[in-house]
A and B are shown apart, each in its own frame.
Chain A
Amino acid sequence: MEYFVQQLINGITLGSIYGLIAIGYTMVYGIIGMINFAHGDIFMVGAFIALITFLVLVAIGITAVPLALLIVLIVAMALTALYGWTVERIAYRPLRHSFRLAPLISAIGISIVLQNYVQVAQGARVKPLPPLIHGGYTLFEGNDFAVRLSNIQVIVVVTTLFLMVGFSFLVARTRLGRNMRACEQDLKMAALLGIDVDRTISLTFVIGAALAAVAGLMFLLYYGVVDFFIGFLAGVKAFTAAVLGGIGSLPGAMLGGLLIGLIETFWSAYFSIEYKDVAAFSVLVVVMIFLPTGILGRPEIEKV
C-alpha cells in the first residue's frame, strides 16, 4: 500500500512534466494541424539553457536558491521562446502552403538539427547538476517503507498547476486566446476577419516553447542530469500524452500527461523497468488504433 502511494506521487510528478510538454504539441496541432516533432528537442534545449544559466549564476556569485531559480526561470523561458520562434520562422512558415507532410518532415529535420547542435556544442556526455532543493516530508510509514513527498515534487506540481490555471485564463479570456481559438476553428476565415494569423501562430509556438522550458527546468531539478537525447524520448511520450488526452484539447493534454506519467511509473514499479519505454510506445499505438481522437478530443470530420 505504501509502495503504491509512493509510486502515485512519483507518477503525478512525472506526469506534470509530460503534461507541460504535451500542451505545446496540442496547441500547435490545434492551430495549424501539424505535429511539431521538434518540440521535444525544444524541451531539451530549455533544460540545457537552464543548466548553463544556473552555472553562470553560481560563477558570478548569486547562490541564494529562490532568487537563482527565479532568474533561471525567466531567462530559460525567454531564450527557449526565442528558439521556438526561430524554428517556426525558418522551418515551418515557408512550408505552410506546401503539401501536407512537408512541415512534418521539416520538423523531423529540425529535431535532428537541434540534437546534433547541442551534442556538438556541449559534448555528448551527460551533464550533472548538484541537487539544489533538499528536504521533504515523510507522509506516513508502514511495512518498513516510508512514503516521502520531497520538496522538489511539491514545487513541480504546484508550478504546473499555476501555469495551467494561467494558461487556461489566457486562452479563455484574453484577446490572444480568442485569436488562437478562432484560428483553430477556421484559419482562412480568421484571416479574412482581420486576425493577424502569422503573429498568432508565432505566439502559439512561443508560448508552447516557454512551457517546454519550464518543463525542462523541472526535469533538470528533479533528475539532476541532462544530455542531448532526453528530448526525443520525452517528446514521444508527451506526444502520446497529447494524443491520449485528445489532440487539440488543453485539459486533455494535461490529463494525458498525468496518465502517461502514472502508466510509466507503475509499469516500471510493478513489471520491468527496461521495457518502460516500450510500454509508453505501446500505449501510443493502442490509442491511435482504437481511439484516435483521444479521451477528451473532438471527432475529426475529413472534408473533401
Chain B
Amino acid sequence: MKSGALAAIVAFGLFSLLIGIRTDQGPTGALELEPRLMALGAFLAVAFVGGFLRGWLAGEPLDFTSYLPDELKAAATQVGRFFGLALLAFAIVEPIVFYNNRYVLDLGILVLTYVMLGWGLNIVVGLAGLLDLGYVAFYAVGAYSYALLAQNFGWSFWICLPIAGLLAAGWGVILGFPVLRLRGDYLAIVTLAFGEIIRLVLLNWQSFTGGPNGVSGIPRPSFFGIPFTADEKGFAATFGLEFTPTHRIVFLYYVILALALLTNWVTLRLRRLPVGRAWEALREDEIACRSLCINTTKS
C-alpha cells in the first residue's frame, strides 16, 4: 500500500505538468493550455497499481517458467527445433502464396531489409563487441550510391548493386581507420558522431544528393536483363505468365531473401575462421587479446 502511494506521488511529480497540461498553439499564435486530467489520472492509477504490486511481490522470484510442468518444457524444446526451419520455409513460400497482395509483399521486403541490417550489425557488435552506433550511415551511403549510379550512369541493377556495396564497405574502412584505437564508450560516441555527420552532409549537399528532396526517378530493376513490363519483351510474356505489377516486387523479395541468407551463412562461416575467433576473443577481453599477440587494430 505504502509503496503504491509512494509510486503515485513520484508519478504525480513527473507527469503533472507534461501530461496533465497540453500546450497547443491557439488562433493568435501564442500557446494555450488545455488540462488533461483524465490522462493524468490514468497514469497515476497505473503507477499506484505498479507500486502496490512491487511491494506485494517483493522477495518472490519472477521466474514464471519454474511453475510449468517438466513435460511441457521438454515438448516445447522439441517444437522449438523445427520452428526455425518452418519459418524459413514460410519465408520462401510466402510470395507465391500472396503474389497479388502488394501490402504483404512490401511488408515482407521491409522486414527482410531490417533482418539483413540486423545480421550485418551482428557481425560488428555481436562478434567483435564493438558498439557501432553509426552503422546506419553505411546503409545511407549504400542507398545513395546505388541511386546516384543508376540515375547518372544508367547501369543495370546487377552492376550497381555490388558497386554500391563496395562503396559502402570502402566508407566503412575509411571511417574505421581513425577509431580503431578507441575502446567501448568512446567508440560508441565517435561512431554516433560519424553517423550524424554523414546524415547532415547528405541532407545539406543539395547539388550532389538533392538535399531533403532526395533522388527520384531511379530506374526499376530488371530480371537479368528482361524488364518487368507488360509488353512482349517483358518478363511475363517471356515466361508465359499473366502480367501483374507484383512480379517485380516478388523478384526483389527473393533477391533480398537470398542476400540475407548469404549474410547469415557468411557470419556462421566467419566464426569458424581464425579472424572470427579473434573477434570473439576481442569482444570478451581486449587486454588479454593484446597480451596474446593478437593485433587488435588489424582485427
Give me the interface of A with B, judged by CB distance under 8 Å: 34-35, 45, 48-49, 51-53, 55-56, 59, 78-79, 82-83, 86, 100-101, 104-105, 108, 117-118, 121-123, 125, 127-130, 236, 239, 243, 274-275, 277-278, 281-282, 284-285, 288-289, 292, 302, 304
- What is the chain B residue whose CB lies nearest that of A233? B196
B204 at the interface (CB under 8 A from A): yes
Q: Which of B30, B185, B188, B201 counts the most A-chain CB atoms under 10 A from its CB?
A: B185
Q: Are A278 and B201 in contact (CB under 8 A)?
A: yes
Partner of A121, one of B19, B131, B184: B19
CA of A281 to CA of B175 in the docked complex: distance in angstroms?
14
Q: Are B14 and A282 in contact (CB under 8 A)?
A: no
CA of A48 to CA of B16 in the docked complex: distance in angstroms?
12
- What is the chain B residue whose CB lies nearest that of A54? B31
Interface of B is mostly: helix
CA of A100 to CA of B285 in the docked complex: distance in angstroms?
11
Q: Are A130 and B24 in contact (CB under 8 A)?
A: no
When distances are taken between beta carbons in the complex, the residues of chain A under 8 Å from B185 are: 34-35, 101, 104
Q: Are B19 and A281 in contact (CB under 8 A)?
A: no
Q: Are B31 and A275 in contact (CB under 8 A)?
A: no
Partner of A274, one of B14, B204, B287: B204
- What is the chain B residue whose CB lies nearest that of A283? B193
Within 8 A of A (CB), among B181-239: 181-186, 188-190, 192-194, 196-197, 200-201, 204
When distances are taken between beta carbons in the complex, the residues of chain A under 8 Å from B92 are: none
Partner of A288, one of B190, B196, B197: B190
Pairs of residues from A and B, 10 with the lowest C-beta to C-beta distance, nearest first: A281-B193, A52-B17, A274-B204, A82-B13, A284-B193, A289-B178, A281-B197, A288-B190, A278-B200, A121-B18
B29 at the interface (CB under 8 A from A): yes
Closest beta carbon of chain B to A104's beta carbon, Å: 6
When distances are taken between beta carbons in the complex, the residues of chain A under 8 Å from B181 are: 289
- What is the chain B residue whose CB lies nearest that of A35? B185
Partner of B189, one of A45, A239, A302: A239
- What is the chain B residue whose CB lies nearest that of A239? B189
B65 at the interface (CB under 8 A from A): no
- What is the chain B residue whose CB lies nearest that of A75? B17
Residues 18-29 of chain B, each 1 if its beta carbon lies under 8 Å from chain A, else 0: 110111110001
- What is the chain B residue whose CB lies nearest that of A120? B19
When distances are taken between beta carbons in the complex, the residues of chain A under 8 Å from B14 are: 79, 82-83, 86
CA of A51 to CA of B188 in the docked complex: distance in angstroms?
33
Closest beta carbon of chain B to A194's beta carbon, Å: 26
Q: Are B23 and A51 in contact (CB under 8 A)?
A: yes
- What is the chain B residue whose CB lies nearest that of A272? B204
When distances are taken between beta carbons in the complex, the residues of chain B under 8 Å from A275 are: 200-201, 204
Chosen A-B contacts, 11 in total, with CB atoms closer than 8 Å, are A48-B18, A59-B33, A79-B14, A86-B10, A101-B188, A104-B184, A105-B131, A128-B31, A243-B189, A282-B197, A285-B178
